[in-house]
């Protein structure tokens, strides 16, 4: 495994540093917004801007990268991310923050695209191992980044400067890596209507996983702060969910390899809903119980997107699977825009403690829809199922890295 990872170690290291900063800034903004007295709806709107930028970037960034090149695009977007991170702390205003979050989302999806293009170029016949390593690095870096909040706290400008430093340092190993110019990046082109017709569970799984993850990323920190957790314990709370999501990919994948994936998805939804209900019940009574519930919630909820991708691969022919999963990524991003706004609105009306109940509602809807589909349609035969792989929401280029899709370089050669 080391011999496989070593040639791309500098790319993985640089991306890990960048993601540590990205993981920190989401929690930091949620906590700072709570300190400033922003309402739940306002915080939700601010956080949704990032995912809105993600969707815009999915269509804007590919032609930009093709026009100016991967290296220039990466450098520009890393610099933009660092500048935006400093501006968060310099101008504390909800509308300014929303605009900065949109710009940050565009920059991050471009960064993902460039890194994943380079990784894809280096994979050749080792796609599975490098893809797995990249996904694990993403989870671990996002989780570890949470703990940086304890250095300065949410109210100190130093925390925003620390995020900017991460973006700058993460640029160094990547900029110094001698890599070939990757293949051009394309935009998603499969209509969402066709995605729903062929794989309704994949469609709804992608949408609801976006709703749930967007709501959690946007509002978990304000919720935890409202439970009287200090900054360090808020970091533990959010990190527990992230690490839970990383750990549970394999047990859930084991089940998904052996049963109808729709049945597994239903079970995962219900277990995630029970974990969220646990967060609501324990509330301020026990920090340890709250963190444990967050770990179980993340363990189940953060596997939904992987299950949706696997279900989509099963339903589409291999020649269309890449475009289908790219469309699924856009759908997931749309859900992530709506999720924080919906959850924030409920929190404004019913109080911060209601946040887990919003997650419960989203998950139960997906479980009921999936059960309805199970009654309507036969399962994919076991012989026709593709392999289950852990997948994190990054960019469309990650779908090309996925070893279940045809090798893009081979396809180009044909």
Cα R_g (the chain), whole angstroms? 20
Number of C-beta neighbours around residue 136 at 10 A: 15
Answer whether residue 411 is part of any domain: no
pLDDT-derived band at 412, boundaries 50, 70, 90: very low
Predicted pLDDT at 366: 96
- Of residues 309, 325, 315, the one with CA closest to residue 408: 325
Q: Which two tokens stand for residue 393?
A: 């929401």
Give the separation between CA 335 and CA 346, rounded to whole angstroms. 16
Answer whether residue 40 is part of any domain: yes
With a pLDDT cut of 70, the percent of the chain lying above it is: 86
Give the separation between CA 177 and CA 162, rounded to whole angstroms. 24
Domain that holds residue 309: 2-404
Helix (H, G, I), strand (E, B) or coil at 204: helix
User: Among 141-150, 194-203, 379-388, whose mean pLDDT is lowest?
Assistant: 379-388
Give the separation between CA 225 and CA 229, rounded to whole angstroms. 5
Alpha-carbon separation of residue 77 from 90, 110, 180, 239, 286 (angstroms): 20, 7, 20, 26, 42
Answer whether residue 409 is part of any domain: no
Over residues 318-336, the pLDDT tens digits come to 777 777 777 888 888 999 9
Q: Which two tokens stand for residue 3?
A: 């011999």
Mean pLDDT of 251-256: 86
- Of residues 255, 389, 259, 247, the one with CA closest to residue 325: 389
**Torsion angle, CA of 231/234/239/242, rounded to 10 degrees?**
-140
Answer whether residue 413 is part of any domain: no
Q: Which two tokens stand for residue 409?
A: 């370089």
User: Among 13-22, 100-109, 211-220, 353-362, whose mean pLDDT is lowest?
Assistant: 13-22
Give the chain's domain count. 1
Cα 379–Cα 383–Cα 387 angle in degrees, nearest 5: 90
Answer whether residue 114 is part of any domain: yes
Answer whether residue 289 is part of any domain: yes
Answer whether residue 231 is part of any domain: yes
Answer whether residue 410 is part of any domain: no
With a pLDDT cut of 90, the percent of the chain lying above it is: 53
Q: What is the mean pLDDT of the chain?
A: 86
Over residues 157-201, the pLDDT tens digits come to 999 999 999 999 988 887 777 665 555 555 555 678 888 998 899
Phi/psi at 131 (5° precision): -60, -45
pTM: 0.88
**CB-CB contact of 374 with 266 (8 Å):** yes
pLDDT at residue 391 tops 90 = no
Give the CATH number, domain containing residue 45. Answer: 1.20.1250.20
């Amino acid at each position: 495994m080391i011999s496989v990872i070593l040639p791309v170690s500098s790319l993985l290291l640089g991306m890990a540093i960048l993601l540590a900063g990205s993981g920190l800034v989401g929690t930091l903004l949620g906590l700072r917004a709570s300190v400033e007295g922003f309402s739940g709806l306002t915080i939700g709107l601010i956080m949704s801007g990032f995912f809105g930028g993600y969707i815009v970037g999915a269509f804007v960034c590919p032609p930009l990268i093709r026009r100016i090149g991967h290296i220039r695009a990466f450098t520009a977007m890393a610099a933009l991310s660092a500048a935006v991170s400093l501006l968060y702390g310099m101008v504390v205003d909800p509308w300014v923050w929303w605009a900065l979050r949109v710009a940050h989302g565009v920059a991050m999806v471009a960064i993902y695209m460039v890194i994943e293009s380079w990784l894809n170029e280096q994979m050749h016949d080792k796609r599975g191992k490098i893809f797995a390593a990249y996904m694990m690095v993403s989870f671990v870096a996002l989780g570890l980044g949470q703990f940086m909040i304890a250095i300065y706290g949410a109210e100190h400008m130093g925390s925003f400067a620390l995020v900017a430093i991460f973006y700058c340092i993460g640029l160094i190993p990547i900029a110094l890596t001698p890599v070939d110019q990757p293949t051009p990046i394309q935009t998603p082109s499969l209509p969402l209507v066709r995605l729903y017709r062929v794989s309704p569970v994949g469609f709804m799984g992608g949408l609801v996983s976006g709703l749930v993850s967007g709501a959690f990323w946007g509002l978990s920190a304000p919720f935890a702060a409202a439970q009287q957790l200090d900054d360090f314990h808020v970091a533990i709370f959010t990190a527990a969910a992230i690490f839970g999501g990383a750990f549970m990919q394999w047990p859930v994948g084991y089940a998904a390899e052996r049963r109808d994936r729709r049945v597994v998805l239903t079970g995962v939804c219900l277990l995630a809903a029970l974990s969220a209900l646990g967060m609501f019940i324990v509330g301020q009574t026990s920090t340890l119980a709250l963190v444990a519930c967050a770990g179980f919630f993340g363990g189940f909820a953060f596997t939904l997107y992987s299950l949706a991708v696997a279900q989509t691969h099963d339903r589409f022919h291999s020649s269309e699977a890449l475009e289908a999963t790219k469309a699924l990524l856009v759908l997931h991003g749309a859900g992530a825009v709506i999720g924080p706004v919906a959850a924030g609105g409920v929190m404004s009306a019913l109080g911060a403690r209601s946040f887990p109940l919003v997650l419960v509602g989203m998950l139960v809807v997906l479980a009921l829809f999936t059960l309805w589909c199970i009654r309507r349609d036969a399962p994919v035969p076991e012989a026709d199922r593709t392999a289950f792989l852990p997948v994190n929401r990054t960019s469309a280029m990650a779908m090309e890295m996925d070893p279940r899709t045809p090798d893009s370089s081979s396809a180009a050669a044909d």
